[in-house]
Each structure stands twice: as structure tokens, then as C-alpha cells.
Amino acid sequence: MNTTASPATVFDIQRIRADFPLLSRTVHGKPLVYFDNANTSQKPLPVIEAMNEHYREHNANVSRAVHQLGEEATAAYEGARDKLARFINAPSRNELVLTSGTTQATNLVAYSYALPRLQPGDAILTTVMEHHANIVPWQLVAQRSGATVKAAPIDQRGELILEQYVAMLTPEVKLACVTQVSNVLGTVNPVREIARECRKRGIALLVDGSQAVPHRPVDVQALGCDFYALTGHKMLGPTGTGALWARREHLDAMPPFFGGGEMIREVRFDGTSFAEAPHKFEAGTPNIAGFVGLSAAIDYYQSVGFEAIHAWEQQLLAYATERLREIPGLRIIGEAAEKEPVISFLIDGTQATDLATLLDLQGVAVRSGHHCAHPLMQFFGVPSTLRASLAFYNTREEVDAFIVALLKVRKLLM
């Protein structure tokens, strides 16, 4: 059996894989190698079963009903908030707004926090390596307010140039943003240092945690940021789930963004009053079953343990990187000193999309394209990359199968 022992845990990869039914299917008659985890992760049985059970046994709307089912659904939904708050060590469950994902979270901050504060001449600072979800919302509110969006540079290894980020934290910056982990490069950014510099200058910092939460324990208090956005479907949970953590003082000062049911105290035509945070940001019926699934996903991470996950993923990353480097004409984009298991690359004389299409015929799922990071592609002067993104349920044998398939399709295209 393929196991790795650490003092605290024994990582039983075969037992873990047995929890993910999709991993044992075939694609085009070949065993699936799923290396598109940064796009969305696969879901373990406890997540699938928790959602199934919710619909079979407990389905009702939250908050509005006094009947038993309504109470059960509300307890499950609010239980997910408790679990997520503990998962990222938020000081209070009431600082956690449940959203449909990171995109909704960053848009909420854009319209409810940034827009009311922005004056002509102000700026929002982001970086060249961001996902569009951490660029476009800022552009939209900048256009409305006469502010600008500035992007801190990175170097050729795909590392943020920290001194330049800090130098760009000028008085007109009203919000600073950074991803904790790049979805294209795998780079882990020095968020604590950035947060320290932002606090010195009284600038609020938003961290995009979408690609961090699937791989490492997150402690928003230790990070020292003001906002932390995450998405559930990349961390074993269902699509349409996510969260925004924000410091209480910000949530209290922010006006609601969506209006409707669930977010009010009293509605009158001569003036409506709103519920306290986080409910004032959660208009309408939420994705209740989705958050039931996300709760189960958090339990699953905790049962495996991030120490074991990290050790396994880092071994896989090192092995996959080493094997890829053996391929002539292959160029890895993103060689930061600290990375999560995401490898973007190009092969001379081939197009990333052609490679991905042919790899699919070999049963290998990888992503090709711009990965919702146009400015990063522009920085590297490429239209797209091929991206292999790994998870703790992947294996060295899958890396080997991927390399064999890649060599085969490369030959076909050259």
C-alpha cells in the first residue's frame, strides 16, 4: 500500500481514493487522471451523501419556518457557518458571510466596502497574478467612482515583488488585494508581511483564498487581513458555495448589496431597516444543501489533516515538476520558491489547447487556456498555458501516466 508516515499521521492514499467515486471512472476508455483540481475539486462520498441526506430527510427553507424541518435546515445551514468560521479561525461566526463563491465575495466588497469610499484619484491595488475575480470587480467600481486600479508587479519566476507592492501602498490606495496562492503559478504569496504593511498605513487588505484553503490551514487572525474570500467547490464542497470573512467593523459599516428577504429587520415604504451582519448580506434563499455539503467537506479535510495533505501534495509537486523537466522543449511558467501543487507549462512547437484535447483522449484532464488571468498571460507574453493542478487524492502513478500521455501527444503534434 502506498502510504507515507509522519509522526502524527499515516496517509493512506488508497483509502482516501476509495472515498472519491469519480476517481475510479474511465474517460475515453482510459483510467481517469484528474489533474484539474485548481478548477474544481472532486467530491468525497461524505459530501455527496450529506447533500443527498439533506434533500431526503431535512429539506426546508431556513429561518422562515418554525416547523421541525425548517429548524433542522436552519441548524444545518448555520452549522456550516460555525464550521467555516472555525476552519479559518475567524474571531466570530457573525463575521462570516456565506456567498456563492469567491466571485460573489469580491463583488460584495467592491460594491459595499470600496465604492462608497472611492473618490476620483483614489486607487485599488491588486497584483499582476490575480484571477479576474480579483481584478474586474475593482475595475467596475473604479469606473463608477473615478478611481484607478493599480497592479503590483511580479518577477519572471512568478513571485510577487514585495518591495514594489509595499511601495505602491500610497495614501490614495483605499483597498489592497492579493491572492494567497496563484491559480496559474501555484505561488504562495507573503500575505502576513503584506497585511502588516497595510495595517501600518491604515489600508484594508482583501485576500483571495480560493487556491489556499484546499491545501493549507488558514488562520485569518494570524494573517492579519481585513477580508478573506473563499470558494467551496475547490475544497471538496459543492459548486455555488463560498464565503467572505470580514472584520466586524467593516461589516457593520458596509451597506447591504443585495436586497430581498432574509436580510431585513422591518420593511416599510417609509424606510426599511436591516438585519445585523452577516444576515444583511444574505438576501434570498441560500444554497442550503450546498452548505450542508461544504460542512461535510470541512469535516473531511479535518479527518485527513492538513499536515498529511501538505506533505503528500508537496511530494507530488516535486515529483511532477522533476518528471516534466525531463521533457525536451517544456517550459514551466511559475517557479516560485514556495508553491502549492499547480504547474503551468508550455511545450515548444505545440499549442496548449491541442495538447489538452489530445491528453483528454488519453484520460488525462488538465486545463488549457488563460485560466481567468489575462494580465498574467500578458506578463509572460503567452496566450495560454497548460495547467496540471494536483490534489491530495492524486498519486505518483497518476503523475507517471500523465507523463507517458504527454510524451505520446507531444510526438503526435511535432
List of residues contacting ligand PLP (CB under 6 A): 101-103, 131, 133-134, 179, 183, 208, 210-211, 231, 233, 372
The burial of 78, by beta-carbon neighbours within 10 Å (0-12 exposed, 13-18 middle, 19 or more buried), is given as middle
Nearest to 135, CA basis, from 170, 169, 107: 107
Q: Which is nearer to ligand PLP, 33 or 105 (CB)?
A: 105
Q: Which is nearer to ligand PLP, 211 or 321 (CB)?
A: 211
Q: Which is nearer to ligand PLP, 28 or 374 (CB)?
A: 374
Which residues have C-beta within 8 Å of that of residue 58, sequence separation ≥ 6?
Answer: 69, 72, 73, 76
Q: Which is nearer to ligand PLP, 95 or 130 (CB)?
A: 130
Q: Which helix (H) or strand (E) holds 342?
A: strand 342-347
Q: Which is nearer to ligand PLP, 17 or 387 (CB)?
A: 387
Q: Which helix (H) or strand (E) holds 317?
A: helix 306-325
Count of C-beta atoms within a 10 Å radius of residue 386: 25
**Beta carbons of 399 and 323 less than 8 angstroms apart:** yes
372 annotated active-site:
yes
Spacing of C-alpha 400 from chain mean position: 27
Nearest approach, Cβ of residue 336 and ligand PLP (Å): 15
Rounded to 5 degrees, φ, ψ at 162 are -55, -45
Q: Which helix (H) or strand (E) holds 9?
A: none
Tell me the three state secondary structure of residue 211: coil
Nearest approach, Cβ of residue 182 and ligand PLP (Å): 7
Q: Catalytic residue numbers?
A: 372
